[in-house]
Amino acid sequence: MTKVKEHWRIATKAIHGFGGGDAATGAISLPIYQTSTYQFRDSQHGADLFNGEADGYIYSRISNPTVDAFQREIACLEGGEAAQALGSGMAASFNAIMTDCKSGDSYISSETVYGGTHALTDHVMPRFGVTGIEVDFTDLNVVEDAIKKAKNPKVLFFETPANPTLAILDIKALAELGHKHGLTVVVDNTFATPILQRPLEYGVDVVMHSATKYIGGHGDVVAGCVVGKQEYIDRLRNDVYIDTGATMAPLNAWLLLRGLKTLPIRMKAHCENAMKIAQFLVFHPKVKVVHYPGLSSNTGHELAKRQMSGFGGMIAFEIDGGFEEGKKLMDAVELAKVAVSLGDCDTLVCHPASTTHSTYEKTVREKAGIKDNLIRLSVGIEDPADIMDDLNQALRVL
Ligand code: LCS
């Protein structure tokens, strides 16, 4: 076992932050504890585990050693006291919001979020009597107005960089605003990862991820997690998670632990490639606008420089044309894979208006900056020249 040191740099934490392998055998690669249940020593031991007088494992929906290791690792990387692993990013968003919202309460969400998160606000939460209000988070006055008008507001929720527009939001200012009104501030840190941005350091209460993306990194896991204070994670577990059961499988926790070991070097490669591709797209005659926080022309550039240590691997760009041209471009790429999801080693490209963000009503989508001609590119870690060649030949069809 490894004694984790607070002062370690992030790349060391990514490898050792969970505290090392298996204490029982010395195995450096932690075993996949592929078990649903655990044998009690006797009936009193079982009773003690249930009434909290003994520590240990009961049932893998409640906890599992491989999943616990992933939780320690992601908490270490985000700089949080504790974490809860979940079966998906959507489960993470739902659990994070429901920890502080019950029927009759409301939350304020950024209007530019992943399409599934918008759908959660638009038609799932109302079924629980919880109202989600989506507004433009780039304007703090608009956010404050929404908080003041909301009935029993409890949570402020946002993504930065945002899916799919890459809009950058001011984490510190929004955390202060949320706290001024007594709200729990939750940030979806999926696009940045803890390698590039650690929102807890800017005062937010809770960070969540779709671990399906960069954390896993290889397109082979669907998973999520929530990181925060121990007191918050205890409430999330006891009030929502345990009895709704969006559990992470032990194999997935193991894949994520493996993915995290290379997250720092993968993010470096994603950032370098994305910067090159963004600079190439800026000068392409078929591209009208490139949204990449690394470009000095981007409205979020200065803010991104303050709160991120790199600009990430996601790019959005507007092509010359509309909905049909967007789809046409998708049909012309050869190396890039036309797919939803993001953060894989492979370059993935999608047309948000017809896929990931089709959950939005058209006018709401356009107000959120997700136009018909917007293309989202998850830049992989292939040779950037090959990605450029592919985009170049595909853009020629427009
Ligand atoms: N948060 C963000 C920022 C996301 O991009 C996604 C998924 C989620 C939460 C939900 O995570 P999941 O349940 O899928 O693990 N984003 C997707 C996307 O843009 N295309 O496909 C999924």
Q: Where does the pLDDT of residue 384 fall: very low under 50, low under 70, confident under 90, or very high at 90 and above? A: very high
Span 338-357, average pLDDT: 95
Question: pLDDT digits over 60-113, tens only?
Answer: 999 999 999 999 999 999 999 999 999 999 999 999 999 999 999 999 999 999
Question: pLDDT digits over 176-185, tens only?
Answer: 999 999 999 9
Name the percent of the chain lying above pLDDT 90. 97
The reply to whether 32 falls in a domain is: no
Question: pLDDT value at position 385?
Answer: 98
* Overall number of domains in the chain: 2
Question: pLDDT digits over 24-42, tens only?
Answer: 999 999 999 999 999 999 9
Does residue 89's CB lie within 6 angstroms of at least one atom of ligand 1?
Answer: yes
Whether the per-residue pLDDT at 234 is higher than 90: the answer is: yes
Question: pLDDT value at position 361?
Answer: 93
To test the pocket of ligand 1, the residue of 112, 124, 209, 212 to mutate (highest count of ligand atoms within 8 Å of its CB) is: 212
The reply to whether 12 falls in a domain is: no
Neighbours of 258 (CB within 10 A): 15
Domain match, 195 and 79 both: yes
Domain match, 98 and 192 both: yes
Q: Looking at the whole model, is its pTM more than 0.85?
A: yes
Q: Where does the pLDDT of residue 1 fall: very low under 50, low under 70, confident under 90, or very high at 90 and above? A: confident
* Cα 114 to ligand 1 centre (Å): 6
Name residues whose C-beta falls within 8 Å of residue 153's C-beta, 6 or more positions apart in sequence: 105, 106, 107, 108, 147, 181, 183
Span 369-381, average pLDDT: 96
**Which of 18, 69, 71, 118 shows the shortest CA–CA distance to 241?**
71
The reply to whether 342 falls in a domain is: yes
Domain match, 281 and 168 both: no
Span 329-354, average pLDDT: 96
Phi first, then psi, for residue 133 (nearest 5°) are -115, 120
Q: Where does the pLDDT of residue 276 fall: very low under 50, low under 70, confident under 90, or very high at 90 and above? A: very high
Whether the per-residue pLDDT at 5 is higher than 90: the answer is: yes
Domain match, 316 and 374 both: yes
Domain match, 237 and 131 both: yes
Question: pLDDT value at position 41?
Answer: 98
Q: Which residues are catalytic?
A: 61, 114, 188, 213
Domain match, 133 and 279 both: no
CATH for 239: 3.40.640.10
State the DSSP code for 332: H
- Choose one of 258, 289, 308: the last residue of a domain: 258
Question: pLDDT digits over 143-175, tens only?
Answer: 999 999 999 999 999 999 999 999 999 999 999
* Cα 116 to ligand 1 centre (Å): 7
Of the CA atoms within 13 Å of residue 180, those in its CB half-sphere come to 12
Does residue 355's CB lie within 6 angstroms of at least one atom of ligand 1?
Answer: no
- DSSP symbols for 84-130: EEESSHHHHHHHHHHHH--TT-EEEEESS--HHHHHIIIIIGGGGT-
Q: Where does the pLDDT of residue 311 fall: very low under 50, low under 70, confident under 90, or very high at 90 and above? A: very high
Tokens of 396: 């020629």
CB of 359 closer than 8 Å to CB of 119:
yes
- Closest atom, ligand 1, to C-alpha of 223: 15
CB of 90 closer than 8 Å to CB of 224:
yes
Domain match, 243 and 122 both: yes
The reply to whether 305 falls in a domain is: yes
Whether the per-residue pLDDT at 140 is higher than 90: the answer is: yes
Compute the distance between CA of residue 360 and CA of residue 388 in angstroms, rounded to an integer.
Answer: 31
Range of the domain at 98: 60-258
